[in-house]
Chains A and B, each alone.
Chain A
Amino acid sequence: MAWYWIVLIVVAALFGLLFLAYMTNADMKLIEKLYDTLIKYHDSKTVEEKI
């Protein structure tokens, strides 16, 4: 198979995956998990409230 076909298939596959992620909102669903974890981490910190 010529190299440009391989490149085209890879790009198309990447495009398809990204479009799937975009339409299913997978990026924000992943970020939601990350966000919840990070907020939990911040909640667990002991913070002094001081003026």
Chain B
Amino acid sequence: MAYDPKTGKGLGRFYDANHRAFRKREWRGFRDTLYDFFRWLCLYGFMAVKLGCHPILMVKAMLRYRWMVSYLTAAHMVDRHTMGLRGKELRYAHNQFFSVLHNSVLGVRDIIVRDENLRPHSKRAAKLRENTVMFDEMTPHLIMMGFPTVKWIDIAMFAIGLPSEVDQNASMYYIDAMEHLGLPADVCPEPAAESGCAVVDDYPRVGKCYFTSSMPCDGAISQTNIMTRHFKDLPSFQITPPQRVNEPEVQTYAVKNLKKGIAFLEQQFNVKWDWDAFWKNAEMYNESSRCMIEKWDVNCTDYPQVCGAALALQREYEFMAAACMDEFMLKTDRRVTKMMLKGYEQDKSADANKPKYRCIVWACPAHYYTNFTYWTQHCWGVTCVNDMEAMLSYQPITIGDKDQALADLVRCYEKMMMRSHTNGGYVNLLDECWKMCEKFNVNIVVMYDHVSCKNVGGLHGLFEDQARERGIHLIWIPHDVMDPRTVSRREMREAFNQYMITVLREEPLDPSLLDYEDARSW
């Protein structure tokens, strides 16, 4: 426990209303502090090795791109997620987050070495770009499983998606840029920010073509209009899988659509789809999915192990950013799975303390408050055993049967993050929520109430009605996905506090976390 009832010192003391950085780091006891320090050294060491060898490019990138500045705060992101953790929980979190940051640092490096905006006259950079495809966010990078010689970079993820999770202030400028052009403020800030970044010309130019999609929602489709305009001098392709993904009949069209995407890439890069590489990558995907399911299975028990953002964010990035093709992430998966199974056995045999409350998180999360579930754990003892966004694609890809493999691949990205539950009809969003409550043995659902989301908002009343019928505590947490000005982190916490105090009649485990100001913080 990070809160000391004798001294009254809790985790809230690290927040400073007037500064972005924490006042200091936590003393977690000798072993855990040394471990955390070692991890801190690893992170900076890795960043120094990979990015430090391009000092001029990094400086140019910081001056050219507003979003690049947010990456300076990577260590703070780790700190706010690991704050209050001890023992194996600390180790799970560090392993999981480091694999995400590992992938991200390499991605940033890949961007700066081939960016036309930073290296307009470099022949080497031009050559690298000739073999790179730029992806939009929420686009099936899995398609690259069959193109081992072609580089791909998700520019929207690196410019908007990631920075918004590292730094809560990252996206506001881009949202405002679109609103200056007349975009109403009620639309989802995520596509607004992605469009805004295009409008102010803040995307890197790192490839010879642009690959986008219609996923996952109306806003993303609309954003495509702006993005393809921005890259109008480059060939582009929009992959458009069907919405009604539960229907087997739609997969015929979906596979045809996928093949068109493959044909586009083959034509652009003068390469052929490589089935050998595909089988290898598919096996990696299958293994990472198995690791994820094992985590879920353990979390169904009385002794959940990898919980909260450590579970959710890692899976999201493994699939969305790395397309399950990152060897380091897979190694981490194997290591964490081993640790997790060992931890579970230890807890079971010792009949360790069970979580006071168990919850699942449902609906679109707030990018600017990724450690919200850690806060619920430390402040109220509510442990998040799974997250809807992490319950993305896990069905295996059939190895050896080409037609079936393509059909499986399509199903994988139809069930990508956000889409897996918001598309395909109400059964995927509404009915599935109650099924997961039963599976994970929870009676609290932290329902992210994204104030600009018309998709989930469209079933708001039915969620209320059906939760009441089932006796499930539905705690609505308002947020505006990438714009903390609409609903701040503090207001999100207050919504949770109100429910815990008035309905569940609980006392906080750490009163210092009840109310504090962190608007300036990253």
Contacts and interface: CB of A to CB of B under 8 A. Distances in A.
Q: Are chains A and B touching directly in their complex (CB below 8 angstroms)?
A: yes
Interface of A: 18-19, 22-25, 27-29, 31-32, 34-36, 38-39, 41-42, 47-51
B66 interface: yes
Contacts of A29: 19, 21
B66 A32 contact: no
A27 B41 contact: no
B180 interface: yes
A47 B181 CA distance: 13
Given A31-B72, A49-B181, A18 B22 contact: no
Given A38-B62, A38-B69, A32 B19 contact: yes
B76 interface: yes
Contacts of A38: 62-63, 69
B21 A23 contact: no
A35 to B, nearest CB: 6
B25 interface: yes
A41 B79 CA distance: 27
B75 A28 contact: yes
A38 B23 CA distance: 22
Given A22-B37, A23-B27, A38-B69, A49 B21 contact: no
Contacts of B69: 35, 38-39, 42
- Counting chain A CB atoms within 10 Å of each CB, the highest count among B20, B22, B229 belongs to B20
B66 A25 contact: no
B64 to A, nearest CB: 9
Given A38-B69, A39-B69, A32 B21 contact: yes
Contacts of B62: 38
A18 B41 contact: yes
Given A34-B72, A35-B72, A39-B66, A25 B27 contact: no
B40 interface: yes
